[in-house]
Chains A and B, each alone.
Chain A
Amino acid sequence: MDGITPDLLALQLFTGLALGAIYVLLALGMSLLFGMLTVVNFAHGAFYMLGAYAGVLLLSIGVNFWFCLLLAPLLVGSLGLLCERFLIRHLYGRGIDYPLLLTFGLSYIMVEMVRILFGTQGLPFDTPDALQGASDIMIGYFPTYRLFVIGVAIVVVVALWLFLERTPYGLIIRAGARDPQIVRILGIDVARVWLVVFGIGTGLAALAGLLAAPLQGASPEMGSSILAEAFVVTVVGGMGSLVGAVVAGLLVGVVVAMTSLVAPEFAQVAIFALMAIVLLIRPQGFFGRAGLMS
């Protein structure tokens, strides 16, 4: 393996972190939904895809990219709110499989709607002008946009952490996750809390999709393949654990990037091999609570 220099490795590490940043955003939303609502969102990939298409739509009516970053998650998050309010809410307490199956059905509808509205072909998505080109990061030149993706992920993670740990709303959400009944007794409308959490989770998925769009374009199928990868991240990190989502997301991103450097054809398979190893050694994932699933 000549031609692989330390610098190249370091650059590839950054590529992995940028990819990992997308995984982190997806897995955060997923873990949030599972940790708080015990809903496994099989439509998470579809919300991710909707994020990219919301970006396409907004850009086409002349909204600039920076507002898109704010508006697209808001739009898709509102759709998530509607789904929770009118469909998923009825399934709480009816076992863990039903929300899963329902969201799976929803993903079919969403993907097909996008195909009807935007066509079955994928659409290109231009990198915003300000973020084109490459920046010097001491070890070499690295695409500015990927740096930007890492930056956004850091901001979102910090903001989410502050929101959950340092605000009264975050306190309610955490309390609702631990014991919804007591929270209800204290006079708080838990249903509304869950609604908001669902909106945040789907909004995060949309943000991930929007950020990924300039890297790979927007296509109706983009969500279904990343769904499996997001599952791997949540399993490796530990279901319901936000720290786990961040650590595992970055790890999976780096593993993919490194494998594609040595053996590109095995990049996809490496993710699943990683998951298999983690499951054998630590079935509950890095930060998962043992026995939570049984």
Chain B
Amino acid sequence: MLNPLLVARCKQHRVVLAIAFLIIFPLLMPFKAIAVNILIYGLFALGFNMLFGTLGLLSFGHAALFGGGAYACGLVMLKLGLPWYVGILGSVLAGMLIAATIGAFAIRTRGIYFAMVTLALAQCLYFLADQATDLTGGENGLRGVDLKTIQLPGMTLNFVDPLTRYYVVAFFVAVALFVLSRILASPFGAVLEAVRENEARARACGYHVRMVRYLAFILSGGFCGLAGALQALHLSIVPLETLAISNSGLVVMMSLLGGMGTFFGPFVGAGIFLLLENLVSLWTVHWQIFVGAAFVACVLFFPRGIWGTILMGRGR
């Protein structure tokens, strides 16, 4: 059992702790690229969890938001010739726009329908991207999203250097984390929780429940779009698979593994998932079988996820 005083201290300084963790994290990882990946997928899972954990809406189409952001960033840089930060801004907007479009249909449905409709609409975007070869490169993906150096006033960052790249990505992830935690702590965040806990009462209190859900979906799209843009910059290519159904499933899996409904759970899930994937794929190409088995085991035995179970263990 952990010392309650220590736990309270940790909670009090969790912003400092989170920043400290982000700074030393790459030094603990076997190589820097995986640390970057964990940050990106962690952010993606956080955006997803905002909908699932906070509102109880299970979306199976989040690849559309992530992939849409990635393509938006790439297209802004390649086709419009604008600098990378405009690309990132564009990806956040694109994520929100796609979420607004998908949400307009999906938010009318509930529960299981919601999962199926989001999946189907995301699949629709996948086929569109596959067909629009002139714009997206089709099956080959969008190539050449190169970012070599970042000009800041007074200095130039070398984005090719793994550690610098990590800290640039970490900066955006930290900003997103901060914004997300402020949203959840705001009155709007309280309304989100109210809607999840007791929809009828929230409605009776005068909240427009469907609009609240819709707004949350759009915000989630912004975070996922940002994650997509960071991945586009990290890989310097946007593969068509970023839009595929498997990517939507991946983020559900990470959130489930880490613990849905906890703030950092999805992040932990993304980290463990990617590390495991890395380890297992060292000795077999059939790593997906372990992923599937881990998933089944999680559903059966750890429905709260790893982080959720840890939090439970210390009496939350």
Say yes or no: A228-B119 contact (C-beta < 8 A), given A105-B293, A108-B292, A112-B292: yes
- Bound complex: CA A63 to CA B249 (Å): 37
What is the predominant secondary structure among interface residues of chain B facing chain A? helix
Say yes or no: A294-B116 contact (C-beta < 8 A), given A91-B299, A116-B286: no
Q: How many Å from the CB of A5 to the closest CB on chain B?
A: 27
Contact in complex: B58, A269 (CB < 8 Å): no
One of B105, B116, B295 near A280 (C-beta < 8 A): B105
- Bound complex: CA A155 to CA B303 (Å): 42
- Bound complex: CA A185 to CA B127 (Å): 50
Taken residue by residue from 143 to 184, chain B's Cβ proximity to chain A (1 for < 8 Å, 0 otherwise) reads as 000000000000000000000000000000000000000000
What is the predominant secondary structure among interface residues of chain A facing chain B? helix
- Bound complex: CA A279 to CA B124 (Å): 15
B119 — which chain A residues lie within 8 A by C-beta?
A: 228, 231
A97 CB within 8 Å of chain B: yes
- Bound complex: CA A294 to CA B114 (Å): 11
Within 8 A of B (CB), among A244-280: 265-266, 268-269, 271-273, 275-276, 279-280
B116 — which chain A residues lie within 8 A by C-beta?
A: 40, 231, 234-235
A25 CB within 8 Å of chain B: no
B127 — which chain A residues lie within 8 A by C-beta?
A: 268-269, 272
Query: Can you offer 23 A-B residue contacts whose CB atoms are under 8 A?
Result: A96-B111, A97-B58, A101-B299, A104-B253, A105-B253, A105-B294, A106-B292, A112-B289, A228-B119, A231-B116, A231-B120, A232-B120, A235-B117, A235-B120, A265-B131, A266-B131, A269-B131, A275-B120, A279-B108, A279-B109, A283-B108, A283-B109, A293-B111
Q: List residues of chain A with CB under 8 Å of any chain B CB.
A: 34, 40, 87, 90-91, 94, 96-98, 100-102, 104-113, 115-116, 224-225, 227-228, 231-232, 234-235, 239, 265-266, 268-269, 271-273, 275-276, 279-280, 283, 293-294
Other A-B pairs, 13, CB within 8 Å; known A112-B286, A231-B119, A280-B108: A40-B115, A100-B112, A102-B296, A102-B299, A102-B300, A105-B291, A106-B296, A109-B292, A112-B289, A235-B116, A269-B124, A272-B123, A272-B124
